[in-house]
Structure 1
Amino acid sequence: MGTQRRFRATVMVDRRGRTIVPIPFDPDEAWGMKPRHPVRGSVAGCSMRGNIEKHGDGPALTLGPAWTRVPLRDGAEVDVVLEPEGPQRADLAPDIAAALDAAPDAAAFFDSLAQFYRNAWLRWIDSTKRNPEQRPVRIEEMVRNLQQRRKERP
């Protein structure tokens, strides 16, 4: 998959037992501009899900003790495989993508949502197959709700 990234990283473990994995590339350049990047993959061979967020030293992935079944020591060098989680803007139907492109604030909020919420919006729009005239109405309603920073339909 073209969006998958593989690299080696030296992890840091803080006092609370969280493992911090520095990211050696700019996720905004790799996967598009977002406030945070929900990702899935593996760290030291253990499957994980989390968010890449901006930190003082650059982007990093912070994993709580529950995600690191095998505790890593501070300074350990590990293999990391990451890819964006959930539907990405490039994967959207053209009519949905166009509506989000026309409303950048709604698009930014959509991009920040967890996979669950993005999938729920898309399923709701796709459920109009028997009434195709409802599709543009639902897309418009989704954009309006996203502009009001609603994760799901009221």
Structure 2
Amino acid sequence: MKKIDKDGLLLCNLQAEAFEQSIGYINSSSEIFIRRFMNSNVAKFVDSGDILQTNLIAKDILDRVNEQYGESSYGSTKYTANEMYWIGYLYRYFSYTYDYSSSKVYKIVKPKELRGLFLPYHTMDTAAAIERILEAKGLLIDEEQELQRQYRIFKKYRNKV
């Protein structure tokens, strides 16, 4: 896991703004938009960090998602602007600090789950919120913690034999 830096924060804010603006710009439900974005070509462009070398803004990102998948009015549930901003920010922070692709992060935690966690977690430090989410799923990403957990299991098993 790497620490967040200036570039990472710029990416987080850009993605969060795109998610927030999607409410008024994209006709589909918020969950459909998030799924499309997280698996899109523009998400791969954001993952690589190359988007920082361009002058693309949030609306341009939304246009690229629409270009790739086409306009859709599927679904009707729209998240609030605050929920969308937080979800977009958290997804990018997770992807950036753990060096995971957007699609991998999307597979780990779905938008409906994040929406349910918005009220208790949105005021927390983003890194702490991600740790809690992973801990609740039983996904220890930290190798040191994982090795310690496996060693405890080994000791428990060895003492029983």
Given the two structures, how large is their TM-score scaled by the length of structure 1? 0.30
Q: Structure with the greater relative contact order (CA < 8 A, sep ≥ 6): 1 or 2?
A: 2
